[in-house]
């Protein structure tokens, strides 16, 4: 599995032709391989920029993903993205992430309030995740207030628009570096 591993740093002093280790220290913030973060977006998010801009903003999903890709690149992590209107495709992506992805950022959209299957998939692979919503779901219709994922998420970000994804990515990177 990709991720952060401890790296042993040796300081040597040369005595003649022999290198003798003087100090040994562990550095847990050195990345041995690029961490991989998967961003999943649920139903109707392909319509961002068109659909209810008062709730979801004017940014398209492509613009959001482009900004995240740049942020990930600048932070030295790999980013993968999938948007699907089909629950099973999101579940398959979660299953495929096992052993290959270090963190998931998910905006389950309408599946937030209905999908025990997404919850079970996330619990099954035990990959830490952050739940993101563009709008403040708690200031909207009562049926949007419940999430099947929130109690298992590392964190939940809602109501901050596209910037919420950037905050989620920053938090995911910080959590991976803290390992």
Q: Is 73 a catalytic residue?
A: no
- Taking only Cα atoms into account, the Rg of the chain, rounded to an integer number of angstroms, comes to 20
Q: Is 5 left (phi over 0), alpha (psi -120 to 50) or beta?
A: beta
Report the side by side order of strands in the sheet with 103-107: 78-83, 36-41, 103-107, 129-133, 155-158
**Is 102 annotated for ligand binding?**
no
Distances (CA, A) of 157 to 11, 109, 118, 144: 43, 13, 18, 14
The answer to whether 56 and 165 are in contact (CB under 8 A) is no
**One of 81, 133, 148, 165 is an active-site residue; which one?**
133
**Is 107 annotated for ligand binding?**
yes
Q: Is 133 a catalytic residue?
A: yes
**Is 120 annotated for ligand binding?**
yes
**One of 12, 55, 56, 88 is an active-site residue; which one?**
56
**Is 113 annotated for ligand binding?**
yes
Binding-site positions read 107, 113, 120, 134-135, 144
Binding-site positions for substrate read 107, 113, 120, 134-135, 144
Catalytic residues: 56, 133
């Amino acid at each position: 599995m990709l991720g952060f591993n401890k790296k042993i740093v040796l300081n040597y002093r040369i005595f003649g032709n022999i290198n003798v280790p003087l100090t040994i220290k562990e550095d847990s913030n050195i990345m041995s391989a690029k961490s991989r973060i998967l961003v999943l977006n649920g139903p109707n998010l392909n319509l961002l920029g068109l659909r209810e801009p008062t709730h979801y903003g004017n940014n398209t999903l492509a613009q959001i993903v482009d900004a995240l890709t740049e942020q990930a690149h600048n932070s030295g992590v790999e980013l993968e993205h999938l948007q699907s209107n089909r629950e099973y495709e999101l579940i398959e992506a979660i299953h495929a992430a096992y052993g290959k992805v270090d963190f998931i950022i998910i905006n389950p959209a309408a599946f937030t309030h209905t999908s025990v299957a997404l919850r079970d998939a996330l619990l099954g692979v035990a990959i830490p995740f952050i739940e993101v919503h563009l709008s403040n779901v708690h200031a909207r219709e009562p049926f949007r207030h419940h999430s099947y994922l929130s109690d298992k998420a590392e964190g939940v970000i809602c109501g901050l628009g596209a910037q919420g994804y950037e905050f989620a990515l920053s938090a995911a990177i910080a959590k991976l570096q803290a390992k």
